Amino acid sequence: MDQALLLRFAELEERHWWFVVRRRLVMETVRRWAPDGLTHIVEVGCGTGGTLCALAAAYPSSTVLGIDPSRQALALARDRGCAAVAGQFEDLPLATGSADLLLGLDVIEHVHDDRRALAEARRALRPGGRLVLTVPSLPRLWGPHDEINGHRRRYRRLELAQRILHADLRLERLTYFNTLLLPLGVVERALVRRFGGAASIGLQMPPRPLNAALRTVFELEAPVLRRRDLPLGMSLLAIATRPPDPGDDHE
């Protein structure tokens, strides 16, 4: 990601509708799906530390570590009091089987080799440990937003499922989200294609009334996602588990 954009995101992530609601959805997912007795939580691609700090606050007795390739992002995360180290998803600086929970929130679409990244996630997880991923979905939505953010791909649901299973991870849940705002996203990208433009509404702080409206609409999905999967959306959420190794007597 462009460093100027990263610094802008650092200023926005506490108020911008996307960051605020995604963080809430992720925290709810962690509370529901994470194994009991977490000792080592890792967020890969922690950026400037918004979600990382929320995890550290929610699990004060756990070791919570962020990993990111950007030194500027790491400095910002550490300034917020979070533990963070340099590293790439494709070569994690973690001991094998050391993580109870590993998160990659809108990260693997950036890496060159997402298969290797998922294989690394499996290696780093303990048997029974869980992986939480979010990714942008629907390749037809590709546009300047993806290019500015340094995305290499947007995922189809089946494609992400196959990647996860190929890494020898057990897929527990795979659902779309950011569904209610999908029509707005489709219209916005169509307008950008037709009339040009280098940025989308997701790359800047909307006016306060618009930001509040987008946040309110997005938040309406939270109670639905607690009960069922959504059939379509601009993003995908996946939960996967590292199965026990052959011969293990425990999960």
**Span 26-52, pLDDT tens digits:** 999 999 998 678 999 999 999 999 999
Cα–Cα distance measured from residue 42 to residue 58, given in angstroms and rounded to the nearest whole number = 14
User: What is the mean predicted confidence (pLDDT) over 150-163?
Assistant: 97
Which has the closest alpha carbon to 132: 41, 10, 54? 41
pTM attached to this predicted model: 0.93
Split at pLDDT 50, 70, 90, the class of 169 is: very high
Distance from C-alpha of 33 to C-alpha of 227, rounded to nearest angstrom: 13
Q: Does residue 167 sit within a domain? A: yes
Asked if the structure places residue 111 within a domain, the reply is: yes
Mean pLDDT of 227-246: 96
Categorize the per-residue pLDDT at 4 as very low, low, confident or very high, splitting at 50, 70 and 90.
Answer: low
Check: CB of residue 134 under 8 Å from CB of residue 110: no
Range of the domain at 48: 3-241
In the structure encoding, which two tokens stand for residue 146, read together? 């993806």
Q: Is residue 113 part of a domain?
A: yes
Mean pLDDT score of the chain: 91
Lowest mean pLDDT among 152-161, 165-174, 182-191: 182-191
Is 251 inside any structural domain?
A: no
State pLDDT tens for residues 75-115.
989 999 999 999 999 999 999 999 999 999 999 999 999 99
- The pair phi, psi for residue 84, each rounded to 5°, is -150, 140
In terms of C-beta density within 10 A (0-12 exposed, 13-18 middle, 19 or more buried), how is residue 74 classed?
Answer: buried
If pLDDT is split at 50, 70 and 90, which confidence band does 10 have? confident
What angle in degrees, to the nearest 10, is found between the helix axes of 50-58 and 17-33? Answer: 40
44 found inside a domain: yes
Q: What is the CATH number of the domain that holds 171?
A: 3.40.50.150
What's the pLDDT at 201?
A: 46
Lowest mean pLDDT among 95-99, 233-237, 244-248: 244-248
Rg (Cα) of the chain, in Å, rounded?
18
Query: What's the CA gap between 203 and 226, in Å, rounded?
Result: 28
Residue 123 lies in a domain: yes
In a domain, 250, yes or no: no
Least confident interval from 5-19, 68-82, 93-107, 212-226? 5-19
Q: How many domains does the chain have?
A: 1
Per-residue pLDDT band at 1 (split at 50, 70, 90): low
Residue 249 domain-assigned? no
Tokens of 85: 């180290």
Contact yes or no for 18/134 (Cβ under 8 A): no
